[in-house]
Structure 1
Amino acid sequence: MSRFTKKGRPPPGYEYIQPVMDALESELREKTTDPHEGLRKCEAMWPIQQINWQRSRYVYDMYYKYKKISKEVYDYCLRMKLADANLIAKWKKPGYERLCSTFAINTKNYNYGTVSICRVPRQQLADGQLVQERHSGCRGCASGPGGYHNIFGNKYGQYLAAIQIMRERRGAEESENVWAQNEADDVSDTGEDADDTNEDSAEDANTAQDEDEEERKSEPTGSDNEEEEEEPKVKRRKT
């Protein structure tokens, strides 16, 4: 069914996220038809799984974190399978906030009834040990401190909602590329608000400091005041 038929027509407000959603849809089609020479069979599927994660995270953040889309738009994305409803349901539970896929926690997919190694916290791994989940290429999606912010280590691990909100706050022109061009623009989904607050506080502190210095420079020193007071006395003695 076409997404633009009567039943699939987007609700009002979808146009806010449509440029990013269209870009991800185009990227997904491109990766689906890319040649797979030189890649393992599982690696050929990594971009598809990663784009599914990124698209779902974008919709999730825009609705739950930034309140930029309505429930109608959110439900539309789930109904039209533009976002992974099962994966989003897991993100709402403690300990699964960065989960890469539902495949990684399905014990039927791994030996001895375990889960993927990407669910093991980094501090519990051996020093220098690098892991990569076979199904999605995830480097580690366990919750808690010390975990990867970008779980895939590429552009598909970026938080596009945070990047879009940051660009809007900066007043930057809309970019055709929805992904960040450098690491500085790849803002953290969890630390962005705190960083903004710290920057504002630092600017206020610097402004206050500059004002204090200007006031001190403009005020006369104590020695100048004493000379001005003593000068009339000296003149009176001479007369």
Structure 2
Amino acid sequence: MPKVKRSKRPPPDGWELIEPTLDELEQKMREELYDYCVREGYADPNLIAKWKKQGYENLCCLRCIQTRDTNFGTNCICRVPKNKLEEGKIVECVHCGCRGCSG
């Protein structure tokens, strides 16, 4: 789950009072989602462990971050942020068909 995006505007009055509670609720929801995915067999436990790390929240599969499976020893093309790619270029992972899980 991605972190809540905040605009450039300053937060409303009283935000500092509820922000810790919202962060705590978000963390609890993440943990429950991960537990549910493991329990029901929707996702590999290793993939879920990666989801917990910063920058890997939207990782589509473990194969996309394994450097041994690529020609140049780097991550899959779907891990490159869209703002770093050429304008209008559409990418797709050759392994799983992901069109960009890095954001």
Structure with the larger RCO, 1 or 2 (CA within 8 Å, 6+ apart): 2
Is 2:29 the partner of 1:64? yes
TM-score by length of 2: 0.62
Task: Structure 1: give runs of 5+ residues left out of the alignment.
Answer: 1-60, 148-239
Is 2:49 the partner of 1:95? no
Q: CA deviation at 1:78?
A: 2.6
Which residue, out of 17, 20, 43, partners 1:83?
Answer: 43
Q: CA deviation at 1:94?
A: 0.5
The 1:80–1:128 alpha-carbon spacing in structure 2 relative to 1, beyond 3 Å, is closer
Listed one character per residue, the Cα deviations across residues 162-219 of structure 1 (whole Å, up to 9, x for unaligned) are xxxxxxxxxxxxxxxxxxxxxxxxxxxxxxxxxxxxxxxxxxxxxxxxxxxxxxxxxx
TM-score by length of 1: 0.29
Distance 1:85 1:64 in 2: 17
Distance 2:67 2:60 in 1: 15
**Secondary structure of 2:57 counterpart:** coil
How many residue pairs get aligned? The number is: 77
Identity across matched positions, percent: 48
Q: CA deviation at 1:118?
A: 0.4
| Aligned-pair Cα RMSD in Å | 2.8
- Residue 68 of structure 2 corresponds to 108
- Residue 127 of structure 1 corresponds to 87
**Secondary structure of 1:128 counterpart:** coil
**Secondary structure of 2:56 counterpart:** coil
**Secondary structure of 2:48 counterpart:** helix
Task: Structure 2: give runs of 5+ residues left out of the alignment.
Answer: 1-25
The structure that is helix-richer by fraction is: 1
Bigger-Rg structure (1/2): 1
Structure 1 consecutive aligned stretches of length 4 or more whose deviation exceeds 2 Å: 63-67, 77-83
Q: CA deviation at 1:81?
A: 3.5
